[in-house]
Amino acid sequence: MLPSQRYQYNISIDDSVVDGTAPGSKTVTTRTSNQSFHKLLSRQLKDQSWQDALSPYLESEAFQSLTHEIQSDIDGGATVYPPLEDVFAALNLCSLNDIKVVIVGQDPYHQPGQGHGLAFSVQKASKIVYIDLKYRMMSLTSSPRRSKKGVTPPPSLKNIFKEAIKDVGIQPPQHGNLESWARQGVLLLNTVLTVRRGEANSHAKLGWEGFTDFVIQIINDQAEPVVFLLWGSPAAKKASHVDEGKHVVIRTSHPR
């Protein structure tokens, strides 16, 4: 029998963005084997086009090793962001055939209530987490009492908005949630898809880099011509093998 592992879910039960240590919240713990956790995480990839394209990688030893490392981290008491259902949000909200622009980030925001699986984006509202203990699945809903403005956009996102307002005249956004961009064909892909609370880059080198390299290679090989918008040297390095005869690649400084 595989050893018992645990995955912690933070539940907000008021109108604040909170975690399992804050007032007005609690933590529900379930127990799964690493094999079950691997399947649980893999099932969070909902989009059929990405399921078809990524299924070989999701079953690979490299991805199983990655899920083992994440589960071991959680079993040691770490809180991991973003919420499980949001890990593949960038792919679920932007199908392979719908991609027009690829923006490459680094790793998720590492404080409570911020990241939700899209590079540079923050939540519009707090989320309530519900656990179906029978199937060990998690579902999320927005809190109806949370301000629509949600989490204050971080400096990098504010700078992105400033440039967009100046360059193409968009209306000043009232929140920092970029889901509408994703639904219009902007793939907001972080290089690393999970992080420990309060520890930037803490899940770097666990194996996410190989996964996202595979994603970029699929786009390079299969997608219609797209625009790669690469902010900063890490993003430029990440997409260094993109076919620039087929795709448009724009490299510039990071919007810090």
The answer to whether residues 195 and 107 touch, using CB atoms and an 8 Å cutoff, is: yes
Radius of gyration from C-alpha coordinates of the chain: 18
SS3 of residue 171 by DSSP: coil
Task: Give me the catalytic one of 107, 132, 213, 221.
Answer: 107
* Residues whose CB is less than 8 angstroms from the CB of residue 256 and which lie 6 or more positions away in sequence, other chains included: 155, 156, 159
Tell me whether residue 107 is one of the annotated catalytic residues: yes
Distance CA(226)–CA(229), nearest Å, equals 10
Distance CA(238)–CA(186), nearest Å, equals 17
Count the neighbouring beta carbons within 10 Å of the beta carbon of residue 23.
7
Residue with structure tokens 């509408």?
180
Cα(first)–Cα(last) distance of the chain, in Å?
48
| DSSP 8-state code for residue 199 | B
Residue with structure tokens 């892909």?
189
For the record, the structure tokens of 208 come out as 């996410």
For the record, the structure tokens of 122 come out as 């923050």
Beta strands in 88-168 (DSSP E): 101-105, 127-132, 137-142
Distance CA(53)–CA(34), nearest Å, equals 24
The answer to whether residues 122 and 142 touch, using CB atoms and an 8 Å cutoff, is: no
- Residues carrying an active site annotation: 107
